[in-house]
Amino acid sequence: MTSMGYFGRFGGFYVPEVLVSSLKNLQAGYAELSQDPTFKEELNSLLSTYAGRPTPLYHAKRLSERIGGAAIYLKREDLAHTGSHKINNALGQALLAKKMGKSRVIAETGAGQHGVATATVCALLGLECEVYMGETDVERQRLNCYRMELLGAKVNVVRSGSRTLKDSINEAMRDYASTSGHTHYLIGSVVGPHPYPTMVRDFQSVIGNEVKEQMMSIVGRLPEALVACVGGGCNSIGLFHPFADDPGVEMFGAEAAGEGIACGKHSASVVAGTEGVLHGARTLILQDGDGQVSETASVAAGLDYPAVGPEHAYLSGIGRARYTAVTDREAIAAFHMLSETEGIIPALESAHAIHLAAEVAGELGPRGNLVVCLSGRGDKDVDQVAKLEGIQ
């Protein structure tokens, strides 16, 4: 990788002139602090005393028996504060912002999970917080809006474009271009221009680093396979990255096939996307022949993004990680299966990974071990599933 943040030909720094100096400052600030032992110590202390790390690695025996293949271990990011892995990156970037002397943090959010994590860490660190959220998403996720307000953040409703996540990112970048003197833009996944894909990967790598230690102490060897869901791609990169140089460990990403790849209502950018530039990086994008970004769909709001982190485009290209699209229907079945076999209600995003993990476990057979990232808890989705099944 070069200093400009390339992963093969993907990634990079495709931004308008007005953003160049802000992002260069961020690159320099992060390069310095990521080498600073005091920064690492403070972050680790917050991760353990505030966010609840390390999260458990749990052998899901009844789930493994039900599937009849490899032993399945769940990395319990659902037990982290605010209910998902998003807190790892939010804490890292907010602490960075504070150290860089910024007093204000902005963020984009789709369903509201990243907005809530950002509002949370800003309350913790005493930073002013504004979150951009599309009008369509605000209507779908009223409670998360109120949650952010409870935490002291201001929600800015975005009324441009399709009024969803990609438009919120555009608005946040516009804000950042004129306010970066005192403002940090806290991106929620391994997307966007350099340094975000690398920086967010570093903050999320705590997942894979813990898994490595935990597997060695519980099982005494590394797993044969890792499985995670892929929206922007940060929980998966966080799990995969520390195993990059362990060739015996296979990596599997579960994208959202929505109602099916063939019908076009999905969010599977690695499986079905084409190369282009979106939000500052060269990557795989769901777009038409003219480069117009497609409308995407998934039952899991956190997977509903028309592109993917550039490192995934690279890992797929070189064959180091393999990507499969899981339908809404398959994810909902896995949501039930994990709830019934283990007493753990997963986020619908994570349920995509559970479905794929079941397939991979079957292929590995009973002598194998597999780790799946349970990226979040499903309380936020219970209402939606109940409605889909006609219960409410």
Ligand X SMILES: *Cc1c(COP(=O)(O)O)cnc(C)c1O
Q: Which residues are catalytic?
A: 86, 108, 375
Q: Which is nearer to ligand X, 84 or 183 (CB)?
A: 84
Identify whether the C-beta of residue 250 lies closer than 8 Å to the C-beta of residue 239.
no
Element (H, E) at 103: none
Exposure string of 333-370, with b = 16+ CB inside 10 Å and e = fewer, is ebbebbbebbebbbbbbbbbbbbbbbbbbeebeeebbb
Q: Which stretch binds ligand X (CB under 6 A): 286-294, 336-344, 346-354, 382-390?
A: 346-354
Contact between 118 and ligand X (CB under 6 A)?
A: no
The answer to the question of residue 223 lying near ligand X (CB under 6 A) is: no
CA dist 239 → 139, 226, 334 (Å)? 33, 8, 20
| 357 scored as a contact of ligand X (CB under 6 A) | no
Query: With binding defined as CB under 6 A, does residue 86 bind ligand X?
Result: yes
Q: Which is nearer to ligand X, 219 or 244 (CB)?
A: 244
**Cα separations (Å) of 108 from 133, 159, 212, 230, 289?**
6, 13, 31, 18, 27
Among 46, 334, 344, 347, binds ligand X (CB under 6 A): 347
CA dist., res. 364 & res. 355, Å (int): 15
The DSSP string of 211-262 is HHHHHHHHTSS--SEEEEE-SSSHHHHHHHGGGTT-TT-EEEEEEEEETBTT
CB 309 within 8 A of CB 231: no
User: Does the footprint of ligand X cover residue 269 (CB under 6 A)?
Assistant: no
**Residue 376 makes contact with ligand X by CB under 6 A:** yes
CB of 345 to ligand X, least distance (A): 12
Sheet strands side by side (includes 128-134)? 154-158, 128-134, 104-109, 183-185
Residue 283 touches ligand X, criterion: CB under 6 A: no
Least distance (Å) from ligand X to the CB of residue 113? 4
Smallest gap, in angstroms, from Cβ of residue 77 to ligand X?
A: 7
Task: Single out the residue of 57, 172, 229, 315 in contact with ligand X (rule: CB under 6 A).
Answer: 229
For ligand X, which residue of 134, 232, 258, 273 counts as binding (CB under 6 A)? 232
88 binds ligand X (CB under 6 A): no
CA distance 136 to 140: 6
> Minimum CB separation from ligand X for residue 76, in Å?
12
Q: Which helix (H) or strand (E) holds 371?
A: strand 369-374
Rounded-to-integer distance, Cα 166 and Cα 145, Å = 18
Cis peptide before 54 (omega within 30 of 0): yes
CB of 85 to ligand X, least distance (A): 6
Residue 302 lies near ligand X (rule: CB under 6 A): yes
| 345 binding ligand X? (CB under 6 A) | no
Interface with ligand X (CB under 6 A), residue from 227, 350, 368, 370: 350
The one segment of 9-17, 227-235, 268-276, 326-334 that binds ligand X by CB under 6 A: 227-235
Q: In what order do the strands lie in the sheet with 274-278?
A: 6-7, 10-11, 281-285, 274-278
The yes or no reply on residue 234 touching ligand X (CB under 6 A) is: yes
Query: 364 or 373: whose CB is closer to ligand X?
Result: 373
By the rule CB under 6 A, 349 interacts with ligand X: yes
Q: How far is the CB of 176 from ligand X (least distance, A)?
A: 20
Q: Name the residue with tokens 């007493």.
A: 343
# chain residues binding ligand X, by CB under 6 A: 19
Asked if 235 interacts with ligand X (CB under 6 A), we say: yes
As measured in angstroms, the least distance from the Cβ of 297 to ligand X is: 15
**Alpha-helical runs (H) found in 100-233:** 113-125, 135-140, 142-150, 165-179, 196-204, 206-218
Please report whether residue 189 would count as binding ligand X according to CB under 6 A.
yes
Applying CB under 6 A, the residues found at the interface with ligand X are 84, 86, 113, 189, 229-236, 302-303, 347, 349-350, 375-376
